[in-house]
Amino acid sequence: MKSSCAFPLQHYTRRAVEIIIEADAAALADRAAQIVLGELFRKPDLVLGLATGKTPVGLYERLRKQPTLFQKVRFFNLDEFHGLGPTDPDSFHSFFHQHLLNHVKHEAKNVHLFRGDMKDFEEEAKLVEDRIRVVGGIDLQILGIGRNGHVGFNEPGSSLGSRTRAKTLEPDTVAHYAAGGKTPPNHAITMGVGTIMEAKKCLMLASGADKADIICRMVEGPIMSEVPATALQMHPRAIVVLDEPAASKLKRGDFYKWVFANKWRVGQK
Protein backbone atom coordinates (compact mmCIF):
# COMPACT_ATOMS: atom_id res chain seq x y z
CA MET A 1 0.00 0.00 0.00
CA LYS A 2 1.34 3.41 -0.93
CA SER A 3 1.58 5.83 1.97
CA SER A 4 0.09 9.29 1.50
CA CYS A 5 2.27 10.63 4.34
CA ALA A 6 5.00 13.16 3.73
CA PHE A 7 7.61 11.03 5.56
CA PRO A 8 9.00 7.73 4.31
CA LEU A 9 7.65 4.73 6.18
CA GLN A 10 10.88 3.99 8.02
CA HIS A 11 10.47 7.23 10.01
CA TYR A 12 7.35 5.78 11.55
CA THR A 13 8.59 2.26 12.13
CA ARG A 14 11.82 3.41 13.75
CA ARG A 15 11.98 4.26 17.44
CA ALA A 16 14.31 7.09 18.34
CA VAL A 17 16.02 4.53 20.58
CA GLU A 18 16.24 1.10 19.03
CA ILE A 19 16.52 -1.71 21.57
CA ILE A 20 18.16 -4.95 20.51
CA ILE A 21 18.15 -7.84 22.97
CA GLU A 22 20.62 -10.67 22.47
CA ALA A 23 20.91 -13.93 24.39
CA ASP A 24 24.25 -13.34 26.10
CA ALA A 25 27.41 -11.24 26.20
CA ALA A 26 28.96 -13.05 23.21
CA ALA A 27 25.89 -12.48 21.02
CA LEU A 28 25.81 -8.87 22.18
CA ALA A 29 29.44 -8.41 21.06
CA ASP A 30 28.65 -10.07 17.70
CA ARG A 31 25.73 -7.72 17.13
CA ALA A 32 27.71 -4.64 18.21
CA ALA A 33 30.56 -5.62 15.86
CA GLN A 34 28.11 -6.08 13.00
CA ILE A 35 26.77 -2.56 13.59
CA VAL A 36 30.22 -0.95 13.82
CA LEU A 37 31.50 -2.82 10.75
CA GLY A 38 28.39 -1.75 8.83
CA GLU A 39 29.23 1.88 9.63
CA LEU A 40 32.87 1.32 8.62
CA PHE A 41 31.91 -0.15 5.25
CA ARG A 42 29.58 2.79 4.69
CA LYS A 43 32.22 5.36 5.67
CA PRO A 44 35.86 4.15 5.77
CA ASP A 45 37.03 7.41 7.38
CA LEU A 46 34.45 7.09 10.15
CA VAL A 47 34.85 9.32 13.20
CA LEU A 48 34.58 6.68 15.89
CA GLY A 49 34.11 7.48 19.58
CA LEU A 50 35.42 4.68 21.80
CA ALA A 51 34.35 3.64 25.30
CA THR A 52 36.32 1.84 27.99
CA GLY A 53 35.02 -0.52 30.67
CA LYS A 54 34.45 -4.26 30.65
CA THR A 55 31.41 -4.28 28.36
CA PRO A 56 32.98 -3.30 25.00
CA VAL A 57 35.99 -5.64 25.30
CA GLY A 58 34.22 -8.40 23.29
CA LEU A 59 33.35 -5.85 20.61
CA TYR A 60 37.01 -4.78 20.29
CA GLU A 61 38.06 -8.45 20.10
CA ARG A 62 35.81 -8.87 17.09
CA LEU A 63 36.80 -5.57 15.44
CA ARG A 64 40.49 -6.40 15.51
CA LYS A 65 39.79 -9.40 13.29
CA GLN A 66 39.37 -6.78 10.53
CA PRO A 67 42.75 -5.00 10.93
CA THR A 68 42.74 -3.25 7.57
CA LEU A 69 39.42 -1.47 8.00
CA PHE A 70 40.75 1.20 10.34
CA GLN A 71 43.37 2.87 8.16
CA LYS A 72 41.32 6.02 7.68
CA VAL A 73 39.27 5.94 10.88
CA ARG A 74 39.48 8.96 13.18
CA PHE A 75 39.40 7.85 16.84
CA PHE A 76 38.15 9.75 19.88
CA ASN A 77 37.32 8.53 23.37
CA LEU A 78 34.83 9.41 26.05
CA ASP A 79 36.95 10.00 29.09
CA GLU A 80 40.21 9.61 30.97
CA PHE A 81 41.35 9.59 34.58
CA HIS A 82 43.05 12.69 35.92
CA GLY A 83 46.80 12.44 36.07
CA LEU A 84 47.20 9.29 33.96
CA GLY A 85 49.40 9.97 30.95
CA PRO A 86 49.31 7.96 27.70
CA THR A 87 52.04 5.56 28.80
CA ASP A 88 50.47 4.80 32.17
CA PRO A 89 49.29 1.16 32.00
CA ASP A 90 46.12 2.10 33.92
CA SER A 91 45.13 4.90 31.54
CA PHE A 92 42.28 4.53 29.10
CA HIS A 93 44.86 5.49 26.49
CA SER A 94 46.69 2.21 27.24
CA PHE A 95 43.36 0.33 27.31
CA PHE A 96 42.55 1.31 23.71
CA HIS A 97 46.02 0.39 22.51
CA GLN A 98 45.86 -2.95 24.28
CA HIS A 99 42.35 -3.86 23.11
CA LEU A 100 42.20 -2.31 19.64
CA LEU A 101 44.82 0.08 18.28
CA ASN A 102 47.85 -2.20 18.64
CA HIS A 103 46.04 -4.78 16.51
CA VAL A 104 44.70 -2.69 13.63
CA LYS A 105 46.33 -0.58 10.94
CA HIS A 106 45.71 3.07 11.73
CA GLU A 107 47.29 6.49 11.36
CA ALA A 108 48.71 7.92 14.58
CA LYS A 109 47.59 11.39 13.46
CA ASN A 110 43.98 10.14 13.53
CA VAL A 111 44.07 9.10 17.19
CA HIS A 112 42.64 11.84 19.41
CA LEU A 113 42.46 10.28 22.86
CA PHE A 114 42.23 12.39 26.00
CA ARG A 115 45.42 13.08 27.87
CA GLY A 116 44.84 12.70 31.58
CA ASP A 117 48.23 14.21 32.36
CA MET A 118 47.34 17.66 31.00
CA LYS A 119 47.87 20.33 33.67
CA ASP A 120 44.92 22.34 32.46
CA PHE A 121 41.80 20.21 31.99
CA GLU A 122 39.79 23.18 30.73
CA GLU A 123 42.33 23.62 27.95
CA GLU A 124 42.25 19.86 27.15
CA ALA A 125 38.43 19.89 27.12
CA LYS A 126 38.38 22.81 24.70
CA LEU A 127 41.00 21.16 22.50
CA VAL A 128 38.99 17.93 22.21
CA GLU A 129 35.70 19.76 21.54
CA ASP A 130 37.50 21.77 18.82
CA ARG A 131 38.99 18.63 17.27
CA ILE A 132 35.57 16.96 17.17
CA ARG A 133 34.19 20.05 15.43
CA VAL A 134 37.07 20.14 12.92
CA VAL A 135 36.46 16.52 11.81
CA GLY A 136 32.74 17.24 11.39
CA GLY A 137 31.47 15.55 14.57
CA ILE A 138 31.50 11.99 15.88
CA ASP A 139 29.80 9.59 13.44
CA LEU A 140 29.41 6.70 15.83
CA GLN A 141 29.88 6.88 19.58
CA ILE A 142 30.19 3.63 21.51
CA LEU A 143 28.82 3.90 25.04
CA GLY A 144 28.44 1.87 28.20
CA ILE A 145 26.39 2.69 31.27
CA GLY A 146 27.40 2.78 34.92
CA ARG A 147 25.17 1.12 37.52
CA ASN A 148 24.47 4.64 38.77
CA GLY A 149 23.31 5.75 35.30
CA HIS A 150 26.48 7.55 34.26
CA VAL A 151 27.31 7.82 30.58
CA GLY A 152 30.92 8.66 29.87
CA PHE A 153 31.93 9.87 33.31
CA ASN A 154 28.87 12.10 33.60
CA GLU A 155 27.87 11.08 37.08
CA PRO A 156 24.29 11.48 38.42
CA GLY A 157 23.35 15.15 38.56
CA SER A 158 25.34 16.06 35.44
CA SER A 159 23.58 18.59 33.27
CA LEU A 160 22.05 16.95 30.21
CA GLY A 161 23.49 19.82 28.17
CA SER A 162 26.99 19.56 29.65
CA ARG A 163 30.14 19.86 27.55
CA THR A 164 33.52 18.20 27.97
CA ARG A 165 34.92 19.01 31.41
CA ALA A 166 36.45 17.61 34.60
CA LYS A 167 34.21 15.61 36.94
CA THR A 168 34.57 14.20 40.45
CA LEU A 169 33.71 10.51 40.38
CA GLU A 170 31.42 8.66 42.77
CA PRO A 171 33.21 6.21 45.12
CA ASP A 172 31.45 3.25 43.43
CA THR A 173 32.71 4.35 40.02
CA VAL A 174 36.28 4.61 41.31
CA ALA A 175 35.92 1.16 42.91
CA HIS A 176 34.57 -0.30 39.64
CA TYR A 177 37.76 0.72 37.84
CA ALA A 178 40.16 -0.48 40.55
CA ALA A 179 42.41 -3.19 39.18
CA GLY A 180 45.46 -5.09 40.31
CA GLY A 181 45.12 -3.68 43.85
CA LYS A 182 45.34 -0.11 42.48
CA THR A 183 42.58 2.46 42.92
CA PRO A 184 42.25 5.01 40.10
CA PRO A 185 42.07 8.77 40.69
CA ASN A 186 38.83 10.36 41.94
CA HIS A 187 38.73 12.81 39.06
CA ALA A 188 38.38 12.43 35.33
CA ILE A 189 37.85 14.40 32.16
CA THR A 190 34.76 13.37 30.20
CA MET A 191 32.84 14.34 27.11
CA GLY A 192 29.69 16.08 28.34
CA VAL A 193 26.20 14.66 27.92
CA GLY A 194 25.54 17.41 25.37
CA THR A 195 28.74 16.50 23.52
CA ILE A 196 27.73 12.82 23.41
CA MET A 197 24.24 13.74 22.21
CA GLU A 198 25.75 15.50 19.19
CA ALA A 199 27.22 12.20 17.91
CA LYS A 200 25.35 11.28 14.73
CA LYS A 201 24.76 7.77 16.01
CA CYS A 202 25.19 6.26 19.48
CA LEU A 203 25.66 2.59 20.22
CA MET A 204 25.14 1.74 23.88
CA LEU A 205 26.04 -1.70 25.21
CA ALA A 206 25.00 -3.19 28.54
CA SER A 207 25.54 -6.70 29.77
CA GLY A 208 24.73 -8.58 32.97
CA ALA A 209 22.04 -8.67 35.64
CA ASP A 210 23.72 -5.93 37.65
CA LYS A 211 22.75 -3.49 34.87
CA ALA A 212 19.07 -4.56 34.75
CA ASP A 213 17.72 -1.89 37.14
CA ILE A 214 19.55 1.01 35.54
CA ILE A 215 18.69 -0.17 32.02
CA CYS A 216 15.03 -0.18 32.99
CA ARG A 217 15.37 3.39 34.27
CA MET A 218 17.37 4.48 31.24
CA VAL A 219 15.01 3.04 28.64
CA GLU A 220 11.61 3.32 30.31
CA GLY A 221 12.03 5.89 33.06
CA PRO A 222 11.71 9.66 33.00
CA ILE A 223 14.51 11.69 31.42
CA MET A 224 16.47 13.29 34.25
CA SER A 225 19.95 14.46 35.15
CA GLU A 226 19.80 12.03 38.10
CA VAL A 227 20.27 9.31 35.43
CA PRO A 228 22.37 11.08 32.78
CA ALA A 229 22.09 8.15 30.33
CA THR A 230 18.33 8.84 30.03
CA ALA A 231 19.31 11.71 27.70
CA LEU A 232 19.73 9.03 25.03
CA GLN A 233 15.93 8.73 24.87
CA MET A 234 16.06 12.04 23.01
CA HIS A 235 18.78 10.97 20.60
CA PRO A 236 17.52 10.59 17.03
CA ARG A 237 19.73 7.59 16.22
CA ALA A 238 20.60 5.63 19.34
CA ILE A 239 20.90 1.85 19.39
CA VAL A 240 20.97 0.04 22.72
CA VAL A 241 22.24 -3.55 22.55
CA LEU A 242 21.54 -5.60 25.67
CA ASP A 243 21.95 -9.17 26.71
CA GLU A 244 19.00 -10.98 28.31
CA PRO A 245 20.20 -10.44 31.91
CA ALA A 246 20.60 -6.68 31.37
CA ALA A 247 17.18 -6.54 29.66
CA SER A 248 15.45 -8.68 32.29
CA LYS A 249 13.66 -5.81 34.10
CA LEU A 250 12.35 -3.99 31.04
CA LYS A 251 8.57 -3.81 31.12
CA ARG A 252 8.29 -3.94 27.36
CA GLY A 253 11.14 -6.35 26.60
CA ASP A 254 8.95 -8.62 24.50
CA PHE A 255 7.68 -5.66 22.52
CA TYR A 256 11.23 -4.48 21.72
CA LYS A 257 12.07 -7.97 20.49
CA TRP A 258 8.95 -8.02 18.34
CA VAL A 259 9.76 -4.59 16.90
CA PHE A 260 13.30 -5.68 16.03
CA ALA A 261 12.14 -8.97 14.49
CA ASN A 262 9.57 -7.10 12.40
CA LYS A 263 11.70 -4.08 11.66
CA TRP A 264 11.09 -2.21 8.45
CA ARG A 265 14.14 -2.67 6.29
CA VAL A 266 14.81 -0.32 3.42
CA GLY A 267 14.12 -2.14 0.14
CA GLN A 268 11.65 -4.49 1.81
CA LYS A 269 8.72 -5.50 -0.38
- Count of residues engaged in binding ligand F6R, rule: CB under 6 A: 14
All residues at 6 or more sequence positions from 66 whose CB lies less than 8 Å from its CB, including other chains: 37, 40, 104
CB of 152 to ligand F6R, least distance (A): 4
Distance CA 258, CA 175 (A): 38
Per DSSP, the three-state class of 24 is coil
| Residue 230 near ligand F6R by CB under 6 A | no
| Residue 195 near ligand F6R by CB under 6 A | no
Alpha helices in 65-211 (DSSP H): 92-99, 121-134, 171-176, 193-197
> Are 196 and 78 within 8 A, CB to CB?
yes
Nearer of residues 178 and 234 to ligand F6R, judged by Cβ: 178
Q: Give catalytic status of residue 213 as yes or no.
A: no
Distance CA 226, CA 157 (A): 5
| Residue 146 near ligand F6R by CB under 6 A | yes
Span interacting with ligand F6R, options 116-124, 140-148, 159-167, 195-203, rule CB under 6 A: 140-148
Single out the residue of 19, 69, 125, 151 in contact with ligand F6R (rule: CB under 6 A).
Answer: 151
Report which residue's Cβ sits closest to ligand F6R. Answer: 144
- x/- map, 26-55, ligand F6R, by CB under 6 A: -------------------------xxxxx
Q: What count of residues does the chain have? A: 269
Sheet holding 187-190, edge to edge: 79-81, 187-190, 165-168
Q: Give catalytic status of residue 262 as yes or no.
A: no
Q: Could you give the residue numbers annotated as active site?
A: 79, 148, 150, 155
Provide the binding-site residues for ligand F6R, judged by CB under 6 A.
Answer: 51-55, 78-79, 144-146, 150-153
